[in-house]
Amino acid sequence: MRKNISRFAGILVLAFLGTPLFAAGPSSIVLGGGVGLYQFTEHPTAFNVYNRLYQGGVQVFPSNDPIRNLATVESISPKKYEGREKKVFGEYEHRLGSSQVLGFTVGLSHTENRQLCQKNCGDIERTYYVANIVQDVAALPADQQLLASLIYMSRPDIFDSKGMQSKHTLLDVGFNLHMNPDGDVDPYIGAVAGAGICSVDNANVSACTAFKYGGRIGARLNLNKTRFLVVQGGLNRIEYNLAKKSGLGLETSLSSVKLKIPTPEQEALFALGVNF
């Protein structure tokens, strides 16, 4: 993950350094990065609740095992998730007219995300499962215990702590409305939309496309006529479209699934820019 971000940032730095920086003008380019954060709660459906309480149509809750009961209650409780993101981006802006209030932007952004469960994540059920494994393995002959342990522990969800990891690279377009273009501090508001490619670890899909739209608010801190710093915050909606091919030859079909973050991501970005 860090290697990909470093490579992307290096390409942008080379492009940035290769730009002719002359007198101040209506165009600018910025290079920066930042972080993003989102949180959401996932509520179980009535169907899932029923399946946990009546497995195979037979009532299993409450049972005589208090730990099993706690695990069942946890499994039908709302789950809380949190996603943390690392971002790098480069953006070109051209401002219109002599007032230079309205500016249109185009750029490239790259985001790497790690989403983890924070609450009611199945910890009790995993502990219960591992405890049963220990009991079952201990009851086996000594020469079978190692092989049995490896088989039992082969479930990938038992000790998986990485959560869902994804990344997307987008071509972004947008606009900014500048409040004080010629001042030392130039606040602005704007909007952005983007589309590009994405990937999700262990998703096993043929194609992944990503879409974004959102708003932003920030300020340019003008160091002189040429150079400036950017501090920006934003709210974005992100959606992945995952497509997978199935079948052989002429019978090949394409199925797709939409993966949408239920709540907007909050981002904080910092950048260095130049006018030219």
The CATH number that applies at residue 219 is 2.40.160.20
Residue 224 lies in a domain: yes
Q: How confident is the model at residue 7 (pLDDT cuts 50, 70, 90)?
A: low
**Parallel, antiparallel or unpaired: strands 27-42 and 265-275:** antiparallel
Task: Give per-residue pLDDT as tens, 212-250.
Answer: 999 999 999 999 999 999 999 999 999 999 887 665 544
- Looking at residue 267, what is its pLDDT? 98
- Looking at residue 189, what is its pLDDT? 98
- Enter the tokens of residue 174: 């947008």
pLDDT at 198 over 70: yes
Residue 160 lies in a domain: no
HEC profile of the chain: CHHHHHHHHHHHHHHHHCCCCCCCCCEEEEEEEEEEEEEEEECCCHHHHHHHHEECCEECCCCCCHHHHHHHHHHCCCEEEEEEEEEEEEEEEEECCCCCCEEEEEEEEEEEEEEEEEECCCHHHHHHHHHHHHHHHHCCCHHHHHHHHHHHCCCCCCCCCCCEEEEEEEEEEEEEEECCCCCCEEEEEEEEEEEEEEEECCCCCCEEEEEEEEEEEEEEEECCCCEEEEEEEEEEEEEEEEEEEECCHHHCEEEEEEEECCCCEEEEEEEEEEEC
- Looking at residue 26, what is its pLDDT? 83
Residue 223 lies in a domain: yes
The whole domain housing 267 covers: 2-42+80-119+165-275
Task: Give per-residue pLDDT as tens, 144-197.
Answer: 777 777 776 666 555 555 678 999 999 999 999 999 998 999 999 999 999 999
How many structural domains compose the chain? 1
Least confident of 10-24, 31-45, 68-82, 192-206: 10-24
> Is 149 in contact with 135 (CB distance < 8 Å)?
no
Q: What is the pTM of this model?
A: 0.78
Residue 149 lies in a domain: no
Residue 251 lies in a domain: yes
Cα torsion 93, 98, 102, 107 to 10°: value is -10
Residue 6 lies in a domain: yes
- Looking at residue 252, what is its pLDDT? 45
